[in-house]
Amino acid sequence: MKAIGKAEFSNFVDELIADDPREVIGVQAKSNKFAFDPLKSAEDLRLDYDVTILPPKKYFMPQRETLVKYNTNEGEMTAVNEVIPRIIFGIHPYDLIAIQQMDKVFEETHSDENYLAKRRESVLVGVNMKNASEWSFAHTMGTATTDSGYDLMLTDIGDKYAVEIGSVKGSELLEEAKSQLDDVGMEEIEKVREFKEELPDKFRDDPEFDPFELPRLLSEYYGKDGFWEENAEDCLSCGTCNLVCPTCYCFDVKDVNDITLTEGERLRTWDGCMLEAFAQVAGDENFREEKAARYRHRYMRKGRYMYNKFGDIACVGCGRCSEQCVPDIADPVDVFNQMKEGTNGI
């Protein structure tokens, strides 16, 4: 563990913005919320944020991404992978854990170079949570802290940041701040320990379940149609709970041509299993036509299917879906608690 004074840390960030060829990203205020965005000055970096509107997955799997460009006149087709190397400041532990889950998905199934190249070229600077969203239940999900997934990890210990090194990428980045870095003593180590000990109080205390019983609970509830219909009744099929989720990775692929039909590109864009057309196939057959079926599917993915395939509970408790669902029906704690309590639905 190292430590750096806060003023020195700001200088370090400003120097990176000025001199490093990579794009420097950091969490910033976006009116009354927060978002990851390119940093213009260290002043704008808000390491005390609670949660961002979108998770940092947008940098590895952009909302819209060109995969292929083609020209029909010349019969040309070119694979496209636009990689912008980035240093990303301020990722909370739950998002770092989510990124590790996404890495498995894109690496272990079909090795998706568009995702993986962007990941390789990014440096992830995490920060332990000073504040938590009132919706977050990361502590319950075991994601309030992490020992992996970061290149560097910061903890606010008063007038300094404690800095943990997670990788060579991380230590190389620190080279640029070498003269301002100190090795730590017991005082700093104690402060970091205290910081982590106080963490649980920042989260919701209403979850009644343990994450590892979710696969069994979900399997018991799979066939209880009334339960899902009741919970999904007010669903607007707006996909918000998918789009804002750090572990949702589904995409759609479509071709966009210019009007003369000579040039075009193949795009991939974010998609979500809550959208009505998600499971619609040729011939207009839709194998999850009812909103309750889609609603159930999302929970199955979060708490059961991903566990069975990758060994991960794919809800990291960030609370984004809970907060941003307009009719307020997407809170996983509410649904998991109902299962735990034995609610049956009608």
Binding site for another protein (CB under 8 A): 30-33, 35, 53-54, 58, 63-64, 233-240, 243-244, 254, 256-261, 269-270, 272, 275-277, 291, 323-324, 326-327
Q: Cβ of residue 15: shortest distance to ligand SF4, in angstroms?
A: 34
Phi, psi of 332 (to 5 degrees): -60, -35
Residue 32 binding partner per list another protein, ligand SF4, none, with a CB distance cut-off of 5 to 8 Å that depends on partner kind: another protein
Residue 246 binding partner per list ligand SF4, another protein, none, with a CB distance cut-off of 5 to 8 Å that depends on partner kind:
ligand SF4
| Minimum CB–partner distance for residue 235 and another protein (Å) | 7
Give the contacts of 294 (CB within 8 A, at least 6 positions apart): 232, 235, 237, 273, 274, 275, 276, 278, 279, 288
* Whether 195 contacts 124, CB under 8 Å: no
Residues 6+ positions from 80 with CB-CB distance below 8 Å: 66, 67, 68, 69, 265
The secondary structure element, H or E, covering residue 201 is: none
Show the CA angle centred on residue 168, arms to residues 165 and 172, nearest 5°: 90
247 binds, among another protein, ligand SF4, none (CB under 5 to 8 A by kind): ligand SF4
For residue 33, the partner it binds in another protein, ligand SF4, none, with Cβ less than 5 to 8 A by kind, is another protein
Least CB distance to ligand SF4 at residue 273 (A): 9
27 binds, among another protein, ligand SF4, none (CB under 5 to 8 A by kind): none
β 263-270/33-38 pair status: unpaired
Applying CB under 6 A, which residues contact ligand SF4?
235-241, 244-247, 274, 302, 315-322, 325-327, 329-330, 332
Closest separation between CB of residue 39 and another protein, Å? 16
Q: Which partner from the list ligand SF4, another protein, none does 139 bind, CB cut-off 5 to 8 Å by kind?
A: none
Give the residue with the Cβ less far from ligand SF4, 105 or 245: 245
Cα–Cα dist 10/170, whole Å: 17
Q: Residue 64 or 193: which CB sits closer to another protein?
A: 64
Helices 93-108 and 113-120: crossing angle, nearest 10°?
140
Nearer to ligand SF4, 42 or 329 (CB): 329
For the bound state, the minimum distance from the C-beta of residue 259 to another protein, rounded and expressed in Å, comes to: 5
Would you say 157 or 245 has its CB closer to ligand SF4?
Answer: 245
Q: How far apart are CA 285 and CA 39, in angstroms?
A: 46
The token pair at 343 is 């609610």
Question: What DSSP line would sit under 47-69, residue for residue?
Answer: TT----SS-GGGGTS-SEEEEEE
CB of 169 to ligand SF4, least distance (A): 25
The amino acid present at 157, given as its one-letter code, is I
The first and second tokens of residue 282, run together, are 């040729």
* 58 Ramachandran zone, left/alpha/beta (phi>0; psi -120 to 50): alpha
Identify residue 204 by its one-letter amino acid code.
Answer: R
Partner from ligand SF4, another protein, none contacting 4, C-beta within 5 to 8 A by type? none
Shortest reach from residue 9's CB to another protein, in Å = 26
144/275 with CB nearer another protein: 275
**What distance in Å separates the CA atoms of residue 167 and residue 109, rounded to the nearest whole number?**
25
User: Could you tell me the smallest distance in angstroms from the CB atom of residue 141 to ligand SF4?
Assistant: 7
Q: Which is nearer to another protein, 77 or 326 (CB)?
A: 326
Residue 199 binds which entry of ligand SF4, another protein, none, CB below 5-8 Å type-dependent: none
57 half-sphere exposure, CB direction, 13 A CA radius: 29
